[in-house]
Chain A
Amino acid sequence: MGVFSREIRSLGRLPKYQHTIKLDKCRRYSTHPPNARLNLPIEYSTSPLLAQSSQAALQNQELPEDIRNGTTKRMNLFQSINDALSIALAADDSVMLFGEDVAFGGVFRCSMNLAENFGGERVFNTPLTEQGIIGFAIGVAAEGMRPVAEIQFADYIYPAFDQLVNEAAKFRYRDAKGGRSAGGLTVRVPTGGVGHGALYHSQSPESLFTHIPGLRVIIPRSPLQAKGLLLSAIESNDPCIFMEPKALYRAAVEQVPIGAYTLPLSKAEVLKEGSDLTIVSYGHPLYTCSAAIEQAEKDFGISIELIDLRTVYPWDKECVLESVRKTGRCMVVHESMVNAGVGAEVAATIQEDKDTFLRLEAPVMRVAGFSTHIPLMFEKFTIPDVTSKSAQVVCCNERG
């Protein structure tokens, strides 16, 4: 649906005109103020959140043993999604993949070569209609197949809101003894800010779906995670919304195990242990969280725990509560607007749990997008960055 989707795609392909524009102008988007200490570009090639070596990837205790004894391959996020889709299509004839422009490889390259390898009956373009794509997919799932439907941008999922909320989420509940459901359905949707996506190529509508019983909402942070979580979503007998942070499609590169593996849904992961503050986040902001943590630990001599929710609903409350009982402080971080976002749910859950509430040494803080839309020229001022997170850590430190 996105009118700019093709432009965004061509940016990925390094268009020729880039060479003709003076370099100093080009840099305005990617550079940082000369004296900046916090808001520096994220160094994905050294990020501790990514398995930079094969050994690091295979150490993951969540992976099955045969995979840990296997090998890895360097992949970015779109390649690992492609890998997962390819594995799912090969393993199960009932899996199919469709949406707008998926047949030629997808506007973000996630379905490259899949139509060629698995046939146009299983990997195909649909007409440009989001409500049609999801309605069609629910019907496919209701007859026992495993459709993976793509919505080109999360910003365009709203025409399908009725089908997702009233139909996919309620199908099993209302069919009851019939036992039929839309559980085979997985909806893949690129999400989040990308620097210049403005109003309709930047949104993170996850909390609209975390309010809906019956849906599982999953947001991976890296290629390794994306592959395992996507395969879990496709295998899951509940309808899953799988939100792919599109800023990471090319940026996040890591060693990804070869072969089929799944990672658990509704299970958070402690990415870094700490004792003074818990930061809870998911998806793309984890990278800025990680950078902010590194800086804050250096500046204040404190120790911060970082948790990736991975599944934002139904979410892993126990992991978060346990961490906050230990640290006494919590900060929730997400890109989407602060009002009624995932942070509100996490904060409320923390204060509702008696044992955790009594351990709190500071109010739970939310660092999230301002309650505005995402305007082209002002994106970097509304989506939380390293500085905004560091500022909150300072607050948290001072109050505590």
Chain B
Amino acid sequence: MRMAFAPRRALSQTYRCSSSISQKPGSAGVRFPGAVDSKFTNSLQFEHPATYPAIPTYRAMSPEGEIIDPSFEPGSDELAIQMYKNMVAVSVMDLIMFDAQRQGRISFYMTSHGEEGTCVGSASALEPEDVIFSQYREAGVFMQRGFTYDNFMSQLFANNKDNGKGRNMPVHYGSAELNIHTISSPLATQIPQAAGAAYALKMQRLIDPNTPPRVVACYFGEGAASEGDFHAALNIAATRSCPVVFICRNNGYAISTPTLEQYRGDGIASRGIGYGIDTIRVDGNDIWAVREVTKRARELALKDGGKPVLVEAMSYRISHHSTSDDSFAYRARVEVEDWKRRDNPITRLRKYMELRGLWNDEKEAELRANTRKDVLKAFASAEKEKKPPLRTLFEDVYEDMIPDLKEQMKELSDIMERYPDEYDVSEFEGGKSSLSN
């Protein structure tokens, strides 16, 4: 079985560096093992970032919704409408849930106003079996892949139907069925994990060639890209040739920190090249461009046995960072209003659809009314649902509950027995009975 891994060829790769031969007299290029293609120069000159032009931003559709490049073929009308509905669904849900948090009905929320295009567009170009790691502002990815309003609401209300069994803060969605890993709060930790997952997918195809080719898509913001895990991940993904598409949502802010205080290079895209990674920058408000770029990136990631690709999607965080943030404390209201009105992914696709006669005010009103109704329906039923059983607190720490935890579960049960009036457990499935062994 293990011969399938062709050890001999693999080994010659592994030991590539140890065979470099030292400089020959009069050679024009470098033979140092650390940089094999460099030429010598007699002119002492530092490389200034400013002398390199900024990496261009790919766009297919103008802010007026016109396809700029005549050779570009956008997807079908059905797809346009479907993606549009998903973007609107996210934005309507965002409005409702932001208010719900303000009313104290859920503990926390994060909207994704302005970034619906990056998420819905890129997710539309992935296959359902592709594995996704996300940061937290990717509701559009979940929506596009089929996460239902019930799924969203169950997680937000941490009820008995929540995939996460009520353990995670709101917006930390996850779905094994949809191949999306559960979101965790620590920033950028998912990036090296995505590289490892991609390597696992590659190995699984080596073991069983009947497995379909799959990639991992990994989302993160430009702020998270300052973490050491970003550096570790891109480097390891490149050296191990992992089929992973890194998708950076560069929305201009990490909470209150503008990008000028986040980095001094040419955004995140310029770093990809340094790691030896195929890289592109795309207009995140142009859903067709994002979709096409992701489609090509996916193909590229699967080529030659696999390799990483970096996509930097430029957008603007119209929303506050979260419900715990008032962004007008660090940026002007007018700036936000400007982006909201002048250029955002939803209005741009709407203009495209109107130009093609696919959409009008009537359809828009109907869509928004229906979406609102559907969200509120899921909202009401999720709010009524019981919370997961108390026993859930102790489960899944290990595969099997260890003796310590069984004892601690009994301890909690005994305390509740002695002080029944101090705890309201009526909203938890089964009350305190679930705590018995």
Contact = CB atoms under 8 A, between A and B. Distances in A.
Given A174-B167, A314-B402, A96 B203 contact: yes
B204 interface: yes
Contacts of A162: 186, 189, 229
Contact of B5 (A121, A125, A133, A143): A121
B13 to A, nearest CB: 6
A178 B182 contact: yes
Majority-rule SS of B interface residues: helix
A159 B232 CA distance: 11
B398 interface: yes
A143 B197 contact: yes
B332 interface: no
A117 interface: yes
A51 B317 CA distance: 65
Nearest to A173: B396
A115 B15 CA distance: 11
A103 B196 contact: no
Interface in A145-177: 145, 147, 159, 162-163, 166-167, 170, 172-177
Contacts of B7: 115-120
Contacts of B131: 143
Nearest to A124: B14
Nearest to B172: A174
B228 A159 contact: yes
B164 A174 contact: yes
Interface stretch (A8-16, A134-142, A371-379, A388-396): A134-142
Given A132-B229, A135-B229, A125 B14 contact: yes
A237 interface: yes
Interface stretch (B234-242, B371-379, B425-433): B234-242
Contacts of A126: 236, 239-240
A131 B232 contact: yes
Given A142-B181, A175-B181, A135 B193 contact: yes
A213 B167 CA distance: 15
Contacts of B191: 135
B195 A131 contact: no
A136 B192 contact: yes
Contacts of B186: 162, 166-167
Contacts of A176: 162-165, 167, 182, 392, 396
A131 B176 contact: no
Contacts of A118: 2, 5, 7
A90 interface: yes
Interface in B379-397: 392, 396-397
Contacts of B201: 143
A30 B193 CA distance: 45
B196 A177 contact: no
A117 B198 CA distance: 24
Interface string A65-94: 000000000000000000000000110011
B421 interface: no
Given A132-B192, A170-B184, A139 B197 contact: yes
A295 interface: no
Given A120-B13, A143-B200, A127 B239 contact: yes
A272 interface: no
A275 interface: no
Given A135-B191, A139-B192, A139-B197, A93 B402 contact: no
A176 B301 CA distance: 30
B233 interface: yes
Given A120-B13, A176-B163, A179-B176, A93 B2 contact: yes
Contact of B235 (A132, A140, A167): A132
A125 B18 CA distance: 13
A98 to B, nearest CB: 8
Scoring B196, B198, B231 by chain A CB atoms within 10 A of each residue's CB, the highest score goes to: B196
A258 to B, nearest CB: 20
B164 A136 contact: no
Given A118-B5, A126-B240, A179-B176, A136 B13 contact: no
A180 interface: yes
A93 B229 contact: no
A196 B236 CA distance: 32
B174 interface: yes
Nearest to B388: A176
B404 interface: yes
Given A127-B235, A176-B163, A103 B399 contact: no
B228 A173 contact: no
Interface string B122-141: 00000000010100000000
A245 interface: no
Contact of A120 (B11, B162, B216, B235): B11
A144 interface: yes
Contacts of A104: 15
Nearest to B163: A177
A190 interface: no
A228 interface: no
A266 interface: yes
Contacts of A141: 196
Nearest to B7: A119
B174 A174 contact: yes
A135 B197 CA distance: 10
Contact of B167 (A103, A131, A163, A173): A173
A281 interface: no
A214 interface: yes
A177 B184 contact: no
A131 B235 CA distance: 12
Contacts of A203: none
Interface string A106-129: 000000000111111110111101
A181 interface: yes
A361 to B, nearest CB: 26
B200 A139 contact: yes
A131, A132, A133, A214 — most chain B CB neighbours (10 Å)? A132
Nearest to A178: B176
A183 to B, nearest CB: 6
Contacts of B198: 139
A174 B168 contact: yes
A326 interface: no
Given A172-B399, A314-B404, A166 B184 contact: yes
26 contacts: A89-B2, A103-B14, A115-B7, A118-B2, A119-B6, A119-B11, A127-B239, A131-B228, A132-B195, A132-B235, A132-B236, A133-B236, A135-B195, A139-B192, A139-B194, A139-B196, A139-B197, A139-B216, A144-B204, A162-B186, A162-B189, A175-B164, A175-B174, A176-B162, A177-B164, A238-B399
Interface of B: 1-2, 5-7, 10-11, 13-15, 131, 133, 162-165, 167-168, 172, 174-176, 181-182, 184, 186, 189, 191-201, 203-204, 206-207, 216, 228-229, 231-233, 235-236, 239-240, 392, 396-399, 402-404
Q: Which 10 A-B pairs have the closest CB atoms?
A: A139-B196, A135-B192, A132-B232, A120-B10, A119-B5, A139-B193, A178-B176, A143-B200, A136-B196, A139-B197
Given A119-B11, A136-B240, 19 more contacts: A89-B2, A119-B6, A122-B5, A127-B235, A133-B236, A135-B189, A136-B236, A147-B196, A173-B167, A174-B172, A174-B184, A176-B162, A176-B163, A176-B396, A177-B176, A183-B399, A216-B398, A238-B399, A314-B402
